[in-house]
Chain A
């Protein structure tokens, strides 16, 4: 089944403890991206990647890192999480052509205390 898989679905952590949220897609998509969703703010793009070893900042990249060493994986790294990064995170992928739709994962709900 074609899908974008995020792990974990739920994560509770403490301030400053490094964490990684994984994202994997099995559709051979060129493009992958991360979003965070907060009440009243919609989905905001954190980082995106057009291909292996190519990443770029979205609208809210501060406090996050990403890497794209393999085509299928695009992990989101929080080196030193803070409470303002408590949010619902979504990973998405697409073929990368202008009219190809985004396929989203089921989300990771992160709580930083």
Chain B
């Protein structure tokens, strides 16, 4: 199983773009990369998923280089409500591996 490494915490001011990078050197051919957001005492919520190159939705963008050994979640113009823990998840759907998560603190 691919192990993931993310920064433990990040601070950002409101309105800024935030980029969170996840390393997954041992990613397998079939593995997808998925990011989740978690607020305190709630279950994680799906944000975005990709296999290669770039994926964008209404919430975020996900950048995956050709070697797929890392990925970057990009949150445009964050607000206070984006304060949460963000998990990078790598794995085929049966047995997934969560990273420890990145605690993002958005500052007014």
Chain A residues with a Cβ under 8 A of chain B: 4, 31, 33, 35, 40-45, 48, 50, 56, 58-59, 88, 90, 92, 94, 96-107, 109
Contact = CB atoms under 8 A, between A and B. Distances in A.
User: Sorted from nearest, which 8 A-B pairs have the closest CB atoms?
Assistant: A104-B43, A101-B46, A42-B100, A43-B98, A42-B98, A90-B43, A104-B44, A42-B101
Nearest to B42: A106
B32 A99 contact: yes
Contact of B99 (A40, A42, A94, A107): A42
Contacts of A40: 100
Contacts of B63: none
Number of contact residues on B: which range applies? 20 to 34
A58 B87 CA distance: 18
B45 interface: yes
Contacts of B105: none
11 contacts: A31-B94, A33-B96, A42-B99, A44-B98, A56-B95, A59-B97, A90-B44, A100-B93, A101-B34, A105-B43, A106-B41
A58 B95 contact: yes
Given A90-B44, A99-B49, A104-B44, A45 B32 contact: no
B9 to A, nearest CB: 12
B92 interface: yes
B81 interface: no
Contact of A107 (B32, B42, B95, B97): B42
Contact of A106 (B43, B87, B101): B43
B94 A56 contact: yes
A97 B30 CA distance: 12
B28 to A, nearest CB: 12
